Copies of this chain bind each other. A is one copy, B any other.
């Protein structure tokens, strides 16, 4: 262990790998993140599918640059503002993978004049709205619900899908690209095998919908899918044309729980100063709460809520998870870590504890302004 076995307050700087970190800060392990990107990019290339990573996880221009080395020029985002941000950082082919928000049509038109903009539609009303209001070419994808039941037209409503495609075709500015889905139900799967099965089922369902559209006179439509669990666990993406995973760049406890990554692939953790110790009940109070980690939790088999796992900081980021040590409660700024007496007697007030979050996308969103790349 790298800290002295004393009960004194740690003076930041003394044997501290990150003396510059004063408050909860997202640490990004560059080497791991780049390895994660390389792995996904190579798998996509081997399968002959387009890799259009989702940038909603990192929301960072700096991290975005790491993707360019692997030939990535087309990206996915989840809001118009995020598209504007990455457009300002030189990205010229962007899919906004969220059902069109018609209230932002002016910003959308401005973007579409600058770059290749892809949007999602799922109703004829929205398509008609775009017909009336589009001021530049828009590349449209019909959002399909292939089983996740969050948004999109159910995959087997062929008539409804074809009617929407026909509506789109009546406008010269609206260019139908294909069918897009997010198989978010992989997050509810109970085994890696089930996740792989969902991928296969999703591809078959999307193909059936495409087949029907081809018969209706809409040839050469593409299929876009993308959720990190399936994209991590499936070796061959045959049957689809594009994948859009996002979370894999950092991974997190949720992905680990699903079997979609290994502990040593997790590339983001939140550095939290130790604020107090309570040996009487085996607890550490962290400066690091819901406004840094989000209130996302994993329900353990024992029915305990787990908001993060803890590790010690290391020059290269952080070490292995500490055994029997986890974030058990969060309020706005406080995190309560449950741990054993041995670790408690060693950790000092003022030291940093690294918390691996349950959901890295939400932690990265909360800590957009407080990030350090190691």
Please list the residues of chain A having a beta carbon within 8 angstroms of any beta carbon in chain B. Answer: 7-12, 21-23, 56, 78-81, 98-104, 107, 122-123, 125-126, 128-129, 149-151, 154, 184, 273, 275-278, 280-281, 285, 287, 290-291, 294-296, 329, 331-334, 336, 349-350, 361-362, 365-366
Q: Are B295 and A349 in contact (CB under 8 A)?
A: no
Other than the known A23-B81, A150-B331, what 17 A-B pairs have Cβ atoms closer than 8 Å? A8-B125, A9-B126, A11-B129, A23-B80, A23-B104, A79-B333, A99-B285, A101-B273, A126-B276, A129-B349, A150-B285, A150-B329, A151-B276, A151-B278, A184-B331, A295-B362, A332-B361
Residues of chain B contacted by A294 (CB below 8 angstroms): 290, 294-295
Q: CA of A356 to CA of B280 in the docked complex: distance in angstroms?
A: 39
Residues of chain B contacted by A154 (CB below 8 angstroms): 280
Residues of chain B contacted by A56 (CB below 8 angstroms): 332-333
Q: Are B285 and A290 in contact (CB under 8 A)?
A: no
Residues of chain B contacted by A329 (CB below 8 angstroms): 150
Q: Are B101 and A151 in contact (CB under 8 A)?
A: no
Nearest Cβ in chain B — how far from A127, in angstroms? 10
Q: CA of A331 to CA of B150 in the docked complex: distance in angstroms?
A: 9
Q: CA of A276 to CA of B107 in the docked complex: distance in angstroms?
A: 19
Residues of chain B contacted by A101 (CB below 8 angstroms): 22-23, 273, 275, 287, 350
Q: CA of A281 to CA of B98 in the docked complex: distance in angstroms?
A: 19
13 contacts between A and B (CB under 8 A): A9-B125, A23-B80, A23-B81, A79-B333, A98-B287, A102-B349, A103-B350, A129-B350, A150-B285, A150-B329, A150-B331, A290-B362, A332-B362
Closest to A22 in B: B103
Q: CA of A356 to CA of B151 in the docked complex: distance in angstroms?
A: 22
Q: CA of A62 to CA of B99 in the docked complex: distance in angstroms?
A: 34
Closest to A121 in B: B276
Identical copies of this chain, number: 2
What secondary structure prevails in chain A residues at the interface with B?
mixed
Residues of chain B contacted by A331 (CB below 8 angstroms): 150, 184
Q: CA of A122 to CA of B334 in the docked complex: distance in angstroms?
A: 15
Residues of chain B contacted by A7 (CB below 8 angstroms): 125
Closest to A287 in B: B101
**Do A22 and B362 form a contact, CB below 8 Å, given A285-B151, A294-B290?**
no
Nearest Cβ in chain B — how far from A233, in angstroms? 20
Q: Are B349 and A123 in contact (CB under 8 A)?
A: yes
Q: CA of A128 to CA of B276 in the docked complex: distance in angstroms?
A: 14
Residues of chain B contacted by A273 (CB below 8 angstroms): 101-103
Nearest Cβ in chain B — how far from A277, in angstroms? 7
Partner of A23, one of B11, B103, B362: B103
Q: CA of A273 to CA of B104 in the docked complex: distance in angstroms?
A: 10
Q: CA of A195 to CA of B276 in the docked complex: distance in angstroms?
A: 27
Q: CA of A8 to CA of B128 in the docked complex: distance in angstroms?
A: 9
Q: Are A104 and B22 in contact (CB under 8 A)?
A: yes
Q: Are A102 and B350 in contact (CB under 8 A)?
A: yes
Q: CA of A79 to CA of B286 in the docked complex: distance in angstroms?
A: 13
Q: Are A336 and B23 in contact (CB under 8 A)?
A: no
